[in-house]
Structure 1
Amino acid sequence: MMQLMKINLFLVILFIVSSMRIWADNPLVRHIFTADPAPMVYNDTFYIFTGRDEGKNNGWIMNGWHVLSSADMVNWTDHGMVLAVKDVTWLNKSQAWAAHCIERNGKFYFYICDSGEIGVAVADNILGPYKDALGKPLISNATPGACPGDDNIDPAVFIDDDGQAYLYWGTDGVVRQAKLKSNMIELDGAITVPQGLNRFFEASWVHKRNGIYYYSYAAKNSTGASWPSNIDYAISSNPLGPWTYKGTVNDFAGTGTNHSGIIKFKDKWYFVYHTDYLSGGTPWQRSVQVDYLNYNADGTLKKVVQTTTGVESIGEPLFSKDAFYKIKARHSGKLLEVANASKENNAVVQQYSDNGEFCQHWKVVEIENGVYEIINRNSGLVLDAVRENEKVIQYSRWGGANQKWKITSVGNGAYYIVNKSSMEVLDVYYAETTDRAKIQHWPFNGETCQMWEFIKVDSVAVGTVTLQKKDFSIYTPEKYKGIVYMTTDNGQILSSSKILDLTGRMYDPSKIQKPGFRYLIQKK
């Protein structure tokens, strides 16, 4: 080992071995507002069909449905809009209300609604394209036995173990249920009224576990008002009831509506719901999040604990701890860099042609659950969104939300990089393609100037060793292109040394002068 340590070195980076778990971040995405989630598991992937709230302060304006997906429950892909309101002739304008998709025999049946009508769109792929199967609603107030007025909303579909499919729907205390034929686009028999659903408001969902059927729904609160609403539930031994009311499984999700879906994925149960916390309580700016659902020994549901951390990762980290990345703009092919290779605070960030300089290399470090710092290799400073304007700069790490970035896949090899403070996306000014075009944080628009590719820079590491004693005299202090380095004085680390571990975090030299740490050693 001592022979290995005598290799001609230019850099010794402190690496502290840890077994920290990685968790998700609630809400799941921050570049858009999402609502009315309907989870679905398909091909070992967790999908969520969701509406997109676009109304800001103008009420519910929802022009289409998006699909989110994840294989690890932490890193999410926004596949974009899979069905637009304008593509379904009978839907009311801007009313992509709560919907539910389910797979049967290789086809995907997407039950959609506006303010009073329910229909079904069909696709051969979970991501579409979806086509209106009937050219008209499956259910409206003209359907015998259906809800009166505009209460035919919020469809939920359940397929039992014997293959029989069921549809549940309703709002404003009016609720209905029916069987579906095997073709999934026709009702099979009479519409009936579920019995035993106390305080029902809307947002039906049915699932099954150990022979027990669970009907969860948004419930009117203790004052009798529709919202803020809880999610209550009832159970039965039959998918059509009668149902026995059991209480509340999820408390208020903000000031407005509450809508949820329950599903099992890789041996764990998940509760998917929306809140209006991210918008500060605007009822028509909701965001989807996920927490665990747990059961008591008798099969009843434990109340959901709402968290900002979400659920634990069941996959590998998105970024390597010991690697740097080039961050390339999809529209221009140019790289994110610090202008003039500056090492100073407030230096601007721009795009520039690939020149191999370290000011174009970045370490992506998870510093919260599913949220990242992006650290420049040349300066050791952090990508920072200026709060007072749209500028993006580098700045010393201080832990503010404007230095934290949510990274969401676009599904085509690129990512949105979303600032946690502004909820705006890393963007190239006016989609310019020239060198030195400035980088800004800007409201989401889905253009390619807001999409970024992460290209891993090859590591030159030759191995790791464990420090056996506090003698550092064998190290050859050297500095190369501003990379963090270690200097020594009589075998001790100088107090002025600047030391980073492999996650890019700064360490006080006085805190690490002891054996037992692991070091990554790189050739000159």
Structure 2
Amino acid sequence: MGFDKSFLCASIIAQLVLVTVCQQNPVFPGWYADPEAIIYGNTYWIYPTYSSTEQLHFDAFSSPDLVTWTRHWRIITNSEVTWARYSMWAPSVFSHLGKYYFLFSANAINSEDELGGIGVAISDFPQGPYRDLLGRPLINAIANGAQPIDQFVFKDVDDTFYMFYGLESLQFGYVEGPFMFRRNGTYYFMWSEGGWGGPDYRVAYAKSSSVFGPFVRERTILEQDPNIATGAGHHSVINPPGTDDWYIVYHRRPLSETDANHRVTCIDRMFFDDQGNILPVQMTNEGVTGPILP
């Protein structure tokens, strides 16, 4: 179904002029977090975590313009991923050779004696349905102390794929939610800091001339705003082809909410200075309108 933003809009008559005030953040209704945004063809897609104590399925959302969204229900559930027993979250997606891949975290294991980790599913279509590709986790190991969660797949300009994952590190203040993109020859490695259930959840980044680093932490660029929302983090970034327009897709917690799972998906613009540094992101209620993709 498509979501009409009129449910968030109000018409105001002032001095005989009709003014429409429209709130586009959150971009769709419901508790959704950890949004992985990507462009497939001429369509924007968001694959979020269903933010509940029972995280056993995923929905997806598609849009031609970042404003009007269509929900695709239950693109994969734990009935397909039989080893995912009590939680599935943090999608990461990509396409390759005509197939669509959907990675996810499951079971939040704390030792390699437990069954869980990073899973991978496959489909012929962006909206699924997706099927478990291996029937077991792709990664079950805890490498260098990194719990196998919050994976992100980055495709470099030479078509090489890299996966980043893990929970907490002594470097940078990294906690979780890695993301990488490349702009003007610079690699930007981003992550979330703070506790996901608290108000101080936030996004920081580092830069390097190589995908392998070394990365130098720059600054926090997204954090709570006492006038807008708290708990802003676990994001992704999209850049419409042929433009230098950048959008950060993230979750945040409305000021009226205290439940850790009450998170909504939002989109705001992301800008750079002349030295290629990311400027602090201003959270808004108005949101964005994206270009129509060719």
Q: Which has the larger radius of gyration?
A: 1
SS of the residue aligned with 1:310? coil
Q: In the alignment, which residue of structure 1 is the partner of 2:251? A: 274
Rounded Cα–Cα distance in structure 2 between residues aligned with 1:246 and 1:63: 36
**For structure 1, which segment, 266-275 or 200-209, has the greater mean C-alpha deviation from structure 2 after superposition?**
266-275
- RMSD, aligned α-carbons: 2.5
Which residue, out of 268, 274, 286, partners 1:309?
Answer: 286
**2:267 equivalent to 1:290:** yes
Task: After TM superposition, give the deviation of residue 61 of structure 1 in Å.
Answer: 2.4
User: In 2 relative to 1, CA 146–198 (structure 1 residues): closer, same or farther, beyond 3 Å?
Assistant: closer
Letter paired with 2:123:
A
User: Counterpart in 1 of 2:38?
Assistant: 40
SS in 1 for 2:79: helix
Provide the residue aligned with 1:132 in structure 2.
132
**What amino acid is the match of 2:42?**
D
Letter matched to residue 96 of structure 1? M
Aligned to 1:99: 91
1:7 — aligned with what? Answer: none
Between the aligned partners of 1:67 and 1:278, the Cα distance in structure 2 is 25
What are the within-5 Å matches in structure 2 for residues 351-390 of structure 1?
A: none
Q: C-alpha displacement at 1:36, in angstroms?
A: 0.7
Instruction: Give distance in 2, aligned partners of 1:278 and 1:33.
Output: 14
Aligned pair count reads 263
d(CA) in 1 for partners of 2:290 and 2:232?
Answer: 28
Residue number among 70, 90, 101 corresponding to 1:109 in the alignment: 101
Tell me by how many angstroms 1:92 deviates: 2.8
- In terms of fraction of residues, the more strand-rich structure is 2
| Residue 202 of structure 2 corresponds to residue 230 of structure 1 | yes
Residues in 2 aligned to 1:146 and 1:277: alpha-carbon distance in whole angstroms: 36
Identity %: 30
Q: Does 1:172 align with 2:172?
A: no
**CA distance 1:278–1:76, change in 2 (3 Å):** farther
Q: 2: distance between equivalents of 1:256 and 1:38?
A: 17
Partner of 2:24: 25
Correspondence for 1:65: 58
Instruction: Report the secondary structure of 1:232's partner residue.
Output: strand
Deviates more, 1:133-142 or 1:73-82: 133-142
1:41-72 CA-partner distances (Å, limit 9, x unpaired): 01111100011123xxxxx3212111111111
After TM superposition, give the deviation of residue 118 of structure 1 in Å. Answer: 0.5
Which whole-Å CA distance do the structure 2 matches of 1:105 and 1:230 have between them? 35
Q: 8 Å contact 1:34–1:287 — kept in the other structure? A: yes
Q: Unaligned regions of 5+ residues in structure 1, if any?
A: 1-15, 55-59, 175-196, 316-524
Residue 226 of structure 1: CA displacement?
Answer: 7.8
Task: Please report how far the alpha carbon of residue 147 of structure 1 lies from its aligned counterpart in structure 2 after TM superposition.
Answer: 3.5
1:212 partner amino acid: T
Which consecutive residues of structure 2, in runs of 5 or more, have no partner in the other structure? 1-15, 110-116
Check whether the contact 2:118–2:140 (CA below 8 A) recurs between aligned residues.
Answer: yes
- Distance in 1 between residues matched to 2:123 and 2:255, nearest whole Å: 33
Q: TM-score, normalised by structure 1?
A: 0.47
Further displaced range: 114-123 or 285-294:
114-123
CA contact (8 A) 1:258 1:273 kept: yes
Cα shift at 1:263: 1.2
Q: Mark the CA change 1:213 to 1:22 in structure 2 (over 3 Å): closer, same or farther.
A: farther
SS where residue 171 of structure 1 aligns?
coil
> Residue 227 and residue 17 in structure 1: after superposition, are their counterparts in 2 closer, same or farther (change >3 A)?
closer
Q: Given the alignment, which residue of 257, 262, 265 partners 2:240?
A: 265
User: How far off is 1:241 after superposition?
Assistant: 1.1
Name the amino acid aligned to 1:161.
V
Aligned residues of 1:22 and 1:312 also touching (Cα < 8 A): no
Taking the aligned partners of 1:295 and 1:122, their CA distance within structure 2 comes to 35
Distance 1:17 1:256, change over 3 A: closer
Normalised by the size of structure 2, how large is the TM-score?
Answer: 0.82
Show the counterpart of 1:335.
none
**Secondary structure in 1 aligned to 2:175?**
strand
**Cα offsets for 1:254-294 (capped at 9, x unmatched):** 55472100110252211000011176232111110100011
